[in-house]
Chain A
Amino acid sequence: MVAVLIGTATFVMMRSLPGDAAWRIAAGRYGYDNVDAAAADAVRAELGLDGPALPALLQWLGDLARFDFGNSLVTGQPIVDEIAHQLGASASLALVAVLLSLLIGPPLGILAGLRPGGLLDRVLLVVSTGIKAIPQFLLALVLIVVLAVQLRWLPAAGHGEARHFILPSLTLALGLAAVNARIARDAMARIADMPFWRFAKWKGLSERQTLMRHGLRNVSVPLITYLGLQFVTLVEGVIIMESIFGWPGIGHALVHAIFSRDVPMVQGTALVLGLGFVMVNALIDVAVRRLDPRVAA
């Protein structure tokens, strides 16, 4: 159902864009030095772009039912292969960024939440608000200038090796961590204020034991729920990071496909992203249900 909706919506949107698709595809294929009427005509003849819309849509849906995404109009390669390659690059980047953000954000947030109003809490509020307020592309450029150009510790851009992960994932992670640190801090402060927390301490548990036994599970529920929402921010961020750091990811592919009217490619990428969103949220619901017995009851 989601697949049909996304596919149809992207199809209608791409069809209703102004400009002749054959020209745009030809420009995408041959570049601005070589796009001319002959190239556009060749594209039009090859792809049968003049045909009516409804049969084209129905055919795409039929192919989809057989898990056939078709071929890219620009490169001629099977879309499944292109997406698999690009999704892999984007997903690994996103995964590293999320792990990194969980390493940075929640521990700091929990420490701050244990002492609301303390020095760490106040510093964290300023820093996380500051980071959140900086556009990600600016943060990325600042990190490149400092860590790659000035200090020469890391490569400025590129992909393929482990060290290429660090800068883009760190940029993404800082943005995510700025928010989940706040979530963790608020959750921790709320929990530390509850009667069961005082009871745990009263019965003789140390601060550390209380946190491990009673705190973490409680804090993790809002954090994980919020992770689902952050998926959208993450997709957005990945698109920007891919363009700045030269990553061959799905965001990069989607932007280029829209520019050159590569309709099957747009449908394929939008579908994968849409299904990905549904899947991530389903997984998070399951995870929350397991963590929080109150939801299951």
Chain B
Amino acid sequence: MTKPFLKTALALACLALPTLAHADGTLDVVAQFEIQSPEPSTSGYIFTRMGVAETLVNANADGKLTPGLATSWEVSEDGLTWTFALRDGVAFHDGKAMTADTVVNALEIARAKPGPLRDLPITGMVANDGAVTITLSEPLAALPAFLAEFRSQILSPASFAADGTGVAIIGTGPYRITAIEPPLSLDATAFAGYWGAAPHIADVSYSGVSRVETRALMAESGEAKFVFGLDPASVSRLNMLDNVDVLSVAIPRTLLIKVNAAQPFLADPNARRALSLAIDRAGIAKAVLRYPEGADQLFPPSIAGWHSDAIAPLDYDVEAAKTLLKDLGWEAGSDGILMRDGERFAVTLTTYPDRPELPLVAAVLEQQFRAIGVELTINTTNSSAIPAGHQDGSLDLGLIARNFSLIPDPIGTVLSDYVGNGDWGAMNWKNPEFATLVRSLARGEGGDAERAAAAAILQAELPVIPIAWYQQTLAVSDKIDGAQIDPFERSFGLQDMRWAE
């Protein structure tokens, strides 16, 4: 019985040997994201990052908008009519030419699905000769930035079923998909008919690997050439290796506590200031996140205009926090937890494990809040508990990571999160002065002085309590030259990479 087995195994091993040789001509990209289906509204960010699909407008590393599939754009005097001139000679991967009609078709499909385009005051999109005209019911200075977001990617009409569901990703990018196997893999090769410069590396592949430890090991073993999304512990280990370069850049994402300002304990701005003073941000940054510093205001330095050097930084001062709470009528009870009118200062902090650092930071916050007599119960659950708790008012505190520049102009996020009733922003907090400032900025009036003034209001009132600014880290094999991190997380930059000499 063993003999036939051994023979079969040997035969299998011989068959397998030729494929054991690694195809080294492929640039393997590994990240945590899973490909759900060829649907731009859900998995679209993978296709734009891999250079398969493109948008009308691009953004550079400073967040400045640059031409993409549109070469230029202009707005009418009244701010209600935008015209985007389209690039000539652009072809989709199926050979079809990109025309104004195909662009309008892709944008209309995107606008019918959940996403940022749907909530814009768009009244119509018209295809003209070589240009697309978008009309609005009210001025919106940030419209080009919305068209740089991944859900606004321009795909060939053949990419969609009759009901608008994505069935294939036929984009215009430097790479075209040769094989896609949801949920974990995608192969692409250079597209000969690309309008721009041909990529240096012809074959690329994407693999979704959900465990960060595995991703780090793949970088360490040289199995993957470009590994996205590393945890602090892996970064310190990978930094010691010669064959891997670790790149790191500050991205416009902030780790913050979302506060329910209608919760009786938290309604007074001084209570929120006290919680803020109790947080040792430098300690959390160093010990948990291994970042050089914590956040001293909501907007990170990479968000030009909104980050202000003029406003007083958030401090760590336990004694000042205790004094503030004492002035609000709180007295320490027998177990050290504050009491007022027979009620304990006990609140729930809701967070989610999708970003592995969140539960860790929550555990540290529990200790730091206890030091000022505030009892924290941590509830680590599904990420949808944050918006759901916002909607039904059950949330006390939420520890979240918020990206301000999924749309490269933060005005969209600021408007929805702190003026509208955005699920991931302020909760039961309204400030008329702030709302007026931000609305006029959204119309295109005012400049950096108004942005700084708006940021100062958030700093004083603390509708959310900032903790840290994120760093994005990735590991690149020393066999690759020309890798850069896009702080706006729009592209992996594969077309600019080349094999090291």
Contact = CB atoms under 8 A, between A and B. Distances in A.
Interface of A: 19-20, 23-24, 26-27, 29-40, 42, 74-77, 82, 85, 99, 102-103, 106-107, 141, 144-145, 148-149, 152, 155-163, 165, 216, 220, 243-248, 252-253, 256, 259
A252 B182 CA distance: 12
B208 A148 contact: no
Interface in B199-215: 207-211, 213-215
Given A157-B209, A159-B185, A244-B211, A29 B20 contact: no
A34 B211 contact: no
B397 to A, nearest CB: 17
Interface string B125-153: 00000000000000000000000000000
A157 B208 CA distance: 11
A74 to B, nearest CB: 6
A103 B424 contact: no
A39 B114 contact: yes
Contacts of B184: 159, 246-248
B16 A103 contact: no
A32 B398 CA distance: 13
A36 B28 CA distance: 33
Given A23-B384, A248-B185, 10 more contacts: A19-B384, A19-B385, A34-B114, A75-B37, A99-B5, A157-B209, A161-B20, A165-B16, A243-B211, A246-B207
Nearest to A220: B1
B388 A156 contact: no
B225 to A, nearest CB: 12
A152 B211 contact: no
B391 interface: yes
Contacts of B113: 42
Contacts of B266: none
Contacts of B165: 76
Contacts of A162: 15-16, 19-20
13 contacts: A23-B382, A23-B385, A31-B42, A32-B354, A37-B423, A75-B39, A107-B2, A156-B221, A157-B215, A216-B2, A252-B183, A253-B183, A259-B382
Q: How large is the interface on B (under 10, 10 to 19, 20 to 34, 35 or more residues)?
A: 35 or more
A213 B184 CA distance: 48
The A contact surface, by secondary structure, is: helix
Interface of B: 1-2, 5-6, 8-9, 15-16, 19-20, 22, 28, 30, 34, 36-37, 39, 41-42, 113-115, 118-119, 165, 181-185, 207-211, 213-215, 217-218, 220-224, 352, 354-355, 381-385, 387-388, 390-391, 403, 406, 422-424
Contact of B387 (A23, A29, A82, A158): A23
Contact of B383 (A32, A99, A247): A32
B220 A149 contact: yes
A157 B382 contact: no
Contacts of B403: 33
A30 B387 contact: no
A77 B182 contact: yes
Nearest to A86: B183
A181 B20 CA distance: 29
Contacts of B220: 149, 156
Nearest to B161: A76
A243 B207 CA distance: 13
Given A27-B382, A27-B384, A248-B181, A37 B391 contact: yes
Contacts of A148: 217, 221, 223
A106 B5 CA distance: 11
B177 to A, nearest CB: 15
Contacts of B181: 85, 248
Nearest to A102: B5
A152 B9 contact: no
A220 B1 CA distance: 9
A162 B12 CA distance: 10
A42 B9 CA distance: 52
A75 B215 CA distance: 24
Contacts of A107: 2
B214 A160 contact: no
Given A23-B388, A162-B16, A141 B213 contact: yes
A245 B30 CA distance: 12
Contacts of B352: 32
A156 B218 CA distance: 5
A203 B5 CA distance: 29
B218 A157 contact: yes
A155 B387 contact: no
B405 to A, nearest CB: 11
Contact of A158 (B19, B207, B382): B207
A30 B183 contact: no
* Max chain B C-beta neighbours (<10 A), residue from A159, A246, A259: A246
